[in-house]
Structure 1
């Protein structure tokens, strides 16, 4: 078992600059432009001319940073590019730059990321590119691996930069009509993006608006211990297809929520932040895996437990430290895809032995990893769910052998599902919005199915209610009390 090193924690943050679509776009476009003009770097006026070109394109960079175009919105990105060609022409002159950009994009996504990176990180085959290129073309979420979003953005940004660069002989020269036309065009793209998002971006989940004052009064603990087992990135339909007898037995012996909805955007760090603060990104401040300001801005369930002298620990990957800080015991995610989850379980056992926490959250990352590297609709993905089932059976059996399951409640869920492409998740395509969620063990009703739609922000207030702790300050979801027996609380 290997914990995440300090280098891995920093490297994970740096990688998000290239993984998340918003920072990737400007980094990639500027890098492509500079590489294409590498032979001119020594020219006296190159850097000033390039700076003027960048300045003239800055508004469009800002528009494409502010607005992502997931799912079917990405189809509308081609219209501004077509409009630019109709207005200014010059497609033939841009062909070399565009081919350079397209070639570098597929080299980065298919070979560097999809093959080299995944081989070094989780041990995928050197031939992973033979499948990964298909996943990049299918991907629907706003990450760097979404070719249908990144390519039209990249081609238009390169087009405008190159046009202004060729015009500009000096930053202090006569300003031509082309420069003004470019600014007006970019302002029109801004209006276009705003209109599209205002009228068409309508699939975000409706937020709940409970508060600690409206939730049931906490008068004592229901459970002595609570174990939250999160199979990261597990699709609900693929779980049903999988041979997972242990988890399905737990479900049958407890209460299942068949319409449990994740949060938006459905990124791992966002989802975990919402689950364990009980609120949404607008309040806890974690809006993507790219965390610009470390730490959530609201109370967590771990803070609530400390108020009553109880302890909680989260065993997961290094990314989660960005939001949950010292409450995380991070296991390395740089390991063969068959080794990552066993190491997480080994670390969870060590945490139980050393800290005996009242709340233990265990994240298994293997299913998510294989979905990103090999796709969620292939056999390898279902096999990973089945392996997670065996590991969790062994872990719960180990807890029982120590007497740690006495008066204990188990919650099993996914933080998000995965869609087509490279394990798409974030913007709620089919397969990622509704997640498996069931409770079992002490205090939980047996053989119950609840079809009323619920949300993962109910996790934190439910944990507080189970463990007799104050609700986190910004709890927005209801307590999942309809899963609980009417029992005396001590």
Structure 2
């Protein structure tokens, strides 16, 4: 299996500008406005009027960028749109019709059909299902129609209003185009929208997990490892209750013979790069600095488990997609995500065997991606999603059997988990809708207690300190997770 190319790494970063909801809103609004008036591009006065009117609207653009409206909050976005229509007379209705049409063309055809066809081999007929997923999706990505459409319409409506006033004024009279009433109305509306958004988030945005854990305070076992190796298999985007419904006998056998954490909670926002960064630093996003898949400043700003292992002369590797390089850097063995989804996990497991045979790391993390990609392209409530979980089960069984044959499972702990679940619609994840928050998580091995279910709530930030504890390494410096000592046969020291 080939590595992700430099072009793919850059392309993945560029794609996140259109995938993440925050940058998508201003990018798409500006693109629609300019495309609609493309016949005026050769007129220099157009660019002056468009630029000045956009400058006036920058505070509103900034508010739409800063405030997400996921889940039921998106329903409240239509009230500002209605208020704007009552205050100002609508013009150029074809502009707003074009915005709606281009939005659905981008999400349903370009993204949901063409993009997924080119990247993972989805059917050319995928649009027949994808339009329903876009309407149902509740996470703050570009694919959340019920959030993006009111934001787009509001921005375009007020921008077009300001532009028409400036364009109708004479050259050199732009600064007198607005009456005091216009300026006052626009200012009051923008301030009101900001206050409205803040009140909604302060009073209704109450599902974010509390980030209150102190630094990891379990006495560490530096130099006294419990295991020779730890293998972590992350089945990206595996929704907990769908895993229960799937035909996955091997994974469920491992869970039954090991220790399961039934209330393992992901971090917020539950984006893949954010979750992996938290899992392998033991830190919250506010500490490690990765807050979305769109990483503006490359690299985590705290120690990772891989840094901890180096301190004791041990080696860890992470086999994952190009996105993870943005946060974990050279500790990632990248895999290309541009392949047919039926071959993705097969190729990843083959590459995993090669890495173990050639490098033999003490800690090896494998990211399996086909389940997540199926959820995003075809939805999580369909049979295809269950089939991908079943496929992952067979491949994990094969990989563990191969490790056993190579003598690599003699004193090894195996950890199976997901980084996040997936919501209805296009398998969105980030803002913790139903199906995202709690993930499958269980441990198996000779040092792990058998047949144990732990129902106490834990966080995925426990991964890094638990790995350090098992491998006899110091905790990463910013680790706040609780070591999962309840899973160990050997009684771990009580926390101070």
SS in 2 for 1:469: coil
- Once the two structures are TM-superposed, the CA of residue 209 in structure 1 deviates from its matched residue by 1.5
What is the aligned length?
486
Name the residue aligned to 1:75.
75
For structure 1, which runs of at least 5 residues remain unmatched after alignment? none
Match of 1:102 among 97, 100, 103: 100
Mapping 1:341-380, distance limit 5 Å = 341-380=345-384
Asked whether the 8 Å contact 2:220–2:475 carries over to 1, the reply is no
- Match of 1:196? 200
**Alpha-carbon distance in structure 2 between the residues aligned to 1:338 and 1:208:** 41
Distance 1:135 1:184 in 2: 36
Supply the distance in 2 between the matched residues of 1:339 and 1:179 (Cα, whole angstroms): 58
Structure 1 residue 421: deviation in Å?
0.5
Aligned to 1:171: 174
User: Which residue in the other structure is 1:115 paired with?
Assistant: 113
Q: Output the CA distance in 2 between the equivalents of 1:369 and 1:290.
A: 18
Match of 1:286 in 2: 290
Q: 1:151 — aligned with what?
A: 149
The partner residue of 1:240 within 237, 244, 255 is 244
| TM-aligned CA deviation for residue 218 of structure 1 | 1.6
SS of residue matched to 1:45? helix
Provide the rounded CA distance (Å) in 2 between the counterparts of 1:294 and 1:217. Answer: 30
Select 1:215's aligned residue among 202, 218, 223. 218
- Alpha-carbon distance between aligned partners in 1 of 2:75 and 2:207, rounded to the nearest angstrom: 16
Whether the 8 Å contact between 2:220 and 2:474 is mirrored in structure 1 is no
**1:50-449 superposed matches below 5 A:** 50-90=50-90, 93-168=91-166, 169=169, 170-176=173-179, 177-212=181-216, 214-219=217-222, 220-449=224-453
Given that 1:269 and 1:286 are in contact with CA atoms closer than 8 Å, whether structure 2 keeps it comes out as yes
Tell me how far 1:52 sits from its aligned partner.
Answer: 1.3
Paired residue secondary structure (1:233) = coil
Q: 1:207 deviation in Å? A: 2.0
Structure 1 range deviating more: 351-360 or 126-135 = 351-360
Q: Where has structure 1 moved over 6 Å in runs of 4 or more? A: none
TM-superposition CA deviations, 1:366-419 (whole Å, max 9, x none): 000000000000000000000000001001111111101110000000000001
**Alignment partner of 2:231: what SS?**
strand
Tell me the secondary structure at the aligned position of residue 210 of structure 2.
coil
Query: Given the two structures, how large is their TM-score scaled by the length of structure 1?
Result: 0.98
TM-score, normalization by structure 2: 0.96
1:401, 1:208 → 2: CA distance? 43
Structure-2 residue corresponding to 1:11: 11
Q: For residues 47-83 of structure 1, give each alpha carbon's deviation from its aligned partner in whole angstroms, at most 9, with x where no partner exists.
A: 0100111011111100011111000000010011101
Q: CA deviation at 1:89?
A: 2.6
1:48 and 1:171 in contact (8 A); partners too:
no
Structure 2 alignment gaps of length 5 or more:
none
1:29 aligns with 2:21: no
Q: CA RMSD in A?
A: 1.2
Tell me by how many angstroms 1:488 deviates. 10
Question: 1:4–1:318: 8 Å Cα contact kept in structure 2?
Answer: yes
